[in-house]
Structure 1
């Protein structure tokens, strides 16, 4: 049984009284809107528009009743607008029900209303709407949290608990509307990226989310079961292998924005469900891809901030290229003080022990190097930095380096100590790819639950021939965190 507070019980009673008055608190018909609060504040002060006949809708956020006239505030998707309402303006003849009963008693903070009227300026200089028509659009039966701000802008009694904010985002966005900017910026970032790709003639596609073989990344998948087919399926951990199939099929460039799912830990930069963009372009390599990423991120940051410099906390990060390039081995030598380029697995385990890095028996050579890098290097990479030329054991889907034995043509872009992008010269030798998958199976047998599975259909596609290809994945959530200076992935 649902337990209701005194306010919730009162609001439900108000709802019934509205029905009793013949007023539907949830009308079906459209309410025509011809202006927003932002439009009015931007244009009326300079008299660009007189706004003599306007229609606006939103939540009732405050109310100051003064007998037969009242002031209040309405909040739409763009901001707040003060309004002034008089009984004699909205009521017809002797019937004052709409003002005296509906507005003063049955409406509450958080209810949606539609207002019509004209704009004027109060004696104190406040741009306001003089209401001539009022319509109830939706009755809220649960009260909003009351947010109080002092003259310095400090918030008291607000909706500030992080877990509550994340779980009830709909309330958070209503009482803390400044967080809307993050979502708007996220949309603009994706739109600008999509425009850049489309301008180059690359095709946006969609690939399967439910997959019979999990591949394309080293990660633990979510598993489900298809009842009709009586077979296990996995939520995708990456879309790489399906996008490469399209390159095999004859497309020169394909990209996809989509959700990925990894059954792993959570922290401020990791979430089990996240958004990734992956793109594959035929006849290119990872060197070309570095230059493309620099151009892309320059354009995106300029479109959002008007410049390439972004403030993240107390740091200023410049996305203008070219970015620093540092090989994986050189970065470990620079920041950990040890040369691991010629070490075998036993030597790497000793280094991990000396550096106080916890490892387990399932980790092979590539995983051990990755642990050292993560513990000693990542946090130092504040300005955009490409880490290049990874050990072959770390990257089973990348092409062998053209001049450096034992390495692959891969880079990761790190910004503010976190990986933002990952790219390869894609492996297109089907025999080499099969051997790499077989090595992954050996790691799985040792207990590595992030090892890739053998994907026979993908291997068959490669056997038909795939042109030289460069591939890139960008973590959209982390990129948005950077460009919005958001502290947690759950904020974006």
Structure 2
């Protein structure tokens, strides 16, 4: 059970804050503030030169705004801690340094209130960098009591349901949010420099295609039709290849009506890109360079922390075929139907009614994936598993596809894209025995087939799960901690099936 809201258990604290709100209004102060220009980030203020406070030698004049996280009264002197997204700094308010009204206002400050200050930067006798306030501006009254423990919230569910508090009081949450922004900016900058064009495609789609997943269904009243929240970006981006855009990408939200786990959230962010006249090996080179650019944006070295270990991302990254890994860890050739079935049964996999390719991949997922510390590009997948992928010319049983694994987690998926409309229609029509409908890509998007018939150039395509990439690069074990607002069961609702 999550911790109840603070006001449910402490109504007297809420009342005390409402009383202070009225006292502020009685002083002629707007408790909701207004424009407060020319503030300096606290991190920048902390870098300014400052010496001990002296009457004959004032320190630098600064202006800051932020939230009050600590408050201590020492008679005619108040000490506060001010926080903004860049850091914290101590404030000192003396009764003789501010106006009479401002001193009264200072007595009405609660933890969590937002204030603006002008003052002199210096150091106290205890060597604490401090702003001595000469002007106090009230910006927002916090009516809800804030957590007393400024070093973090202990209850995980409470943190997730109150992400706004989590960001204030859990430094790692804010750090991850800022690093996520850096990663996405780096991706855009890297692709823009290579000549890719960022585009947008529909979130509401008539056919849920481009991936094997169960979609969310909604209804459009004016057209009186059911629509799907997209499960992938792929098919509309490929239409743009047909239209003549040769290097394109999209960073967008996709939605899959499936379970929640440390690596899965029903709503997540994908990067998908397509490059005309490239192939899956070109996508390997691009993927390695793109992720290393993100590493370089966050770390001074390419050996980064991951859990209680380190991860060496120094290039070149290993490239090994799916078949080779299957032989190494499962112990048989993936084309040997008898031995594959026996290995599946030995692993406790139900083989009833399942096609050979399905058993091969279930074995790969159960036996091989966890051993892929990586980074390693696993390439050349069984063709029946890849209906949107071009087959190898010398072996049509194999598809030109790779997945990138790092620490047992799939981070990227790429193809030499299938641009043959006849073969594409055939693969869309086939559902592998042993796969449920939502696990199959056997959904016929006839307009996409029609687009292919007008001619799509040979191309390489790549998809990267942004949330998983952020998990890896911020040393975060669960996906919910890199998504600002992960999906949660409604508060007080019973567990689902």
Calculate the TM-score normalised by the size of structure 1.
0.91
Query: Is 1:337 matched with 2:337?
Result: no
Structure-1 residue corresponding to 2:370: 379
Query: Is 1:60 matched with 2:89?
Result: no
Asked if the contact 1:295–1:321 (Cα under 8 Å) also holds between the matched residues in 2, the reply is no
Residue deviations 1:435-468, cap 9 Å, x none?
Answer: 000103x759x74322221000000000001111
Structure 1 stretches of 5 or more lacking a match? 149-154
Shift of 1:118: 0.9
Asked if the contact 2:50–2:123 (Cα under 8 Å) also holds between the matched residues in 1, the reply is no
Distance 2:372 2:317 in 1: 11
Structure-1 residue corresponding to 2:223: 229
Structure-1 residue corresponding to 2:299: 305
Query: Is 1:471 matched with 2:476?
Result: no
Asked if the contact 2:332–2:340 (Cα under 8 Å) also holds between the matched residues in 1, the reply is no
Structure-2 residue corresponding to 1:151: none
Distance 2:200 2:405 in 1: 27
Q: Out of 125, 132, 137, which is 2:139 matched to? A: 137
Structure-2 residue corresponding to 1:481: 471
Asked if the contact 2:404–2:411 (Cα under 8 Å) also holds between the matched residues in 1, the reply is yes
Alignment coverage as a number of residue pairs: 469
Shift of 1:9: 1.6
Cα gap change, 1:472 to 1:463, in 2 (>3 Å): same
Distance 2:36 2:133 in 1: 15
Distance 1:314 1:195 in 2: 31
Q: Out of 397, 405, 415, which is 1:414 matched to? A: 405
Residue deviations 1:12-68, cap 9 Å, x none?
Answer: 2211222222211002x3112331211122232599xx8632211111111221111
SS in 2 for 1:216: coil
Asked if the contact 1:401–1:408 (Cα under 8 Å) also holds between the matched residues in 2, the reply is yes
Query: Is 1:72 matched with 2:80?
Result: yes
Structure-1 residue corresponding to 2:358: 367
Structure 2 stretches of 5 or more lacking a match? 1-6, 53-57, 483-497
Distance 2:140 2:217 in 1: 41
Query: Is 1:11 matched with 2:17?
Result: yes
Asked if the contact 1:144–1:175 (Cα under 8 Å) also holds between the matched residues in 2, the reply is no
Calculate the TM-score normalised by the size of structure 2.
0.90
Distance 1:350 1:334 in 2: 16
Asked if the contact 1:204–1:255 (Cα under 8 Å) also holds between the matched residues in 2, the reply is yes
Structure-1 residue corresponding to 2:105: 102
Shift of 1:291: 1.5
Q: Pairwise mapping of residues 176-215 of structure 1 onto structure 2 (< 5 A)?
A: 176-215=170-209
Shift of 1:76: 1.3
Residue deviations 1:140-192, cap 9 Å, x none?
Answer: 011111116xxxxxx6xx41222221221100011113321111111111111
Structure-2 residue corresponding to 1:41: 46
Q: What root-mean-square deviation, in Å, do the aligned CA atoms of Structure 1 and Structure 2 show?
A: 2.0
Shift of 1:314: 2.5
Structure-2 residue corresponding to 1:450: 439
Cα gap change, 1:168 to 1:336, in 2 (>3 Å): same
Query: Is 1:84 matched with 2:84?
Result: no
Structure-2 residue corresponding to 1:319: 313
SS in 1 for 2:282: helix
The range that moved more, 414-423 or 62-71, is 62-71
Structure-1 residue corresponding to 2:424: 433
Residue deviations 1:101-123, cap 9 Å, x none?
Answer: 3212x210100011111111111
SS in 2 for 1:24: coil
SS in 2 for 1:88: coil
Shift of 1:97: 4.1
The range that moved more, 236-245 or 400-409, is 400-409
Structure-2 residue corresponding to 1:152: none
Distance 2:38 2:90 in 1: 17
